[in-house]
Amino acid sequence: MTATTSARTDAGAPGQPADGAAAAPAHTGSRATRVLGILALASSALLVLYGLVISPPDVEMADSVRLMYVHVPSATYLYLGCFFTTFASAMWLWKRTPGWDALAEAGAEVGLVFALITLGTGSLWGRPTWGTYWTWDARLTSTAVLTVMLIGYLALRRLDLDPGARSARVAVLGLLLVPNVIVVNRSVEWWRGLHQGSTLSRIDPKIEGDMLVALMVGFLALGLIFAWLMIHRFRVAWLEQQADRFDLDEALALRRAEASEPSDASEPSDASKGTA
Amino acid sequence: MIAMTHAGYVAAGWIGTFALLGGYAWTVVRRGRKLSRQVPAAERRWS
């Protein structure tokens, strides 16, 4: 126990910060994330104003077009989360440094949140527009497969394995996310289905005026939220790694203390013999 | 806003989106606070 306590104190235990780290906060926030958070909240308020009040109903979709202002940006940030995970997985396989592993985990988890928003808002848009919440359209099916892959990736991360082996396995799975993103993105061109084609990635976009502004504000607001979540989630993953490392250090210190106990314990008994 | 068509779907989509994002953000911040107490200050490099 003594060795454990000293190991923590040397590194700057909670409540007893190490030299030069006295200002380290007991949370994952920083000045940058506070600014980012305020901007995210302000742009979200602007999104509500533009998306629900200012922008007019669509001629074909009527007011259900308002779901597109969160659906399309969410799908984009789902892709971005997958890109982060694949890139960080490749970097982890190359460099084997814990920061890349933490970034890969953050990208997958935040990406999953945006995947659920994409599927949820898409289903709610599909019911009044297509007459059904779900159909086995190529875009919908490939997005569902991507979501299941993200769930599988995060489940694999929680398996009780050797940390190095676990990181290697999830990194290989992480490499498969971007190829699937390409399939999702191209699916509307490769297969015929109900889902509409690209709205913005053309020289002549299909929407304009206040509707285009609302969509752009949607990209801004959800982009800021995505960035805020990524930074906080990366720091949580980093803290988890450090906590695991300190738990391992504690366990080793405890084992060493136990190993040295028999010789320590024998002394009092000898002494007691002598006294007797 | 009041005369909106498909108001239920739109409301469900928007409320669901912000509820999920808010709930997830709260969970992440809470996990961060809990873990920060277990990890030495030197390992928390942000300020």
- Is A171 a residue whose pLDDT tops 90? yes
- Could you tell me the pLDDT band of residue A7, with boundaries at 50, 70 and 90? very low
A50, closest residue in chain B (CA to CA): B1
DSSP state of A17: P
- Tell me how far apart the alpha carbons of residues A211 and A224 are, in angstroms, rounded to a whole number: 20
Q: Which long-range contacts (CB under 8 A, 24 or more apart) does A181-185 make?
A: A181/A79, A181/A82, A181/A83, A181/A146, A183/A142, A184/A79, A184/A139, A184/A142, A184/A143, A184/A146, A185/A79
- Could you tell me the pLDDT band of residue B41, with boundaries at 50, 70 and 90? confident
The pLDDT tens digits of the residues spanning A153-164 come to 999 999 888 888
- Is A12 a residue whose pLDDT tops 80? no
The residue behind tokens 């007893």 is A16
- Is A1 a residue whose pLDDT tops 50? no
* Residue B31, CA distances (Å) to A94, A206, A239, A250, B24 in order: 29, 42, 9, 21, 11
Predicted pLDDT of residue A20: 43
Average pLDDT for A263-271: 49
Domain ranges of chain A: 31-246
- Is A16 a residue whose pLDDT tops 60? no
The pLDDT tens digits of the residues spanning A212-251 come to 999 999 999 999 999 999 999 999 999 998 888 877 777 7
A225, closest residue in chain B (CA to CA): B21
Is the ipTM higher than 0.95? The answer is no
HSE-up of residue A72 (Cα within 13 Å, Cβ side): 23
Inter-chain residue contact B32 with A121, CB threshold 8 Å: no
3-state DSSP of A158-192: CCCCCHHHHHHHHHHHHHCHHHHHHHHHHHHHHCC
CB-based contacts of A160: which residues, under 8 Å, 6+ apart? none
The pLDDT tens digits of the residues spanning A93-138 come to 999 999 999 999 999 999 999 999 999 999 999 999 989 999 998 9
Q: Which residue has the higher pLDDT, A89 or A208?
A: A89
Predicted pLDDT of residue A269: 47
Residue range A31-246 forms a domain whose CATH class is mainly alpha
User: What is the nearest CA distance from A149 to chain B, expressed in angstroms?
Assistant: 20
A130 touches chain B (CB under 8 A): no
Inter-chain residue contact A246 with B5, CB threshold 8 Å: no
- Is B40 a residue whose pLDDT tops 60? yes
Chain A neighbors of B31, CB-CB under 8 A? 236
* Residue A213, CA distances (Å) to A4, A14, A75, A86 in order: 58, 47, 18, 31
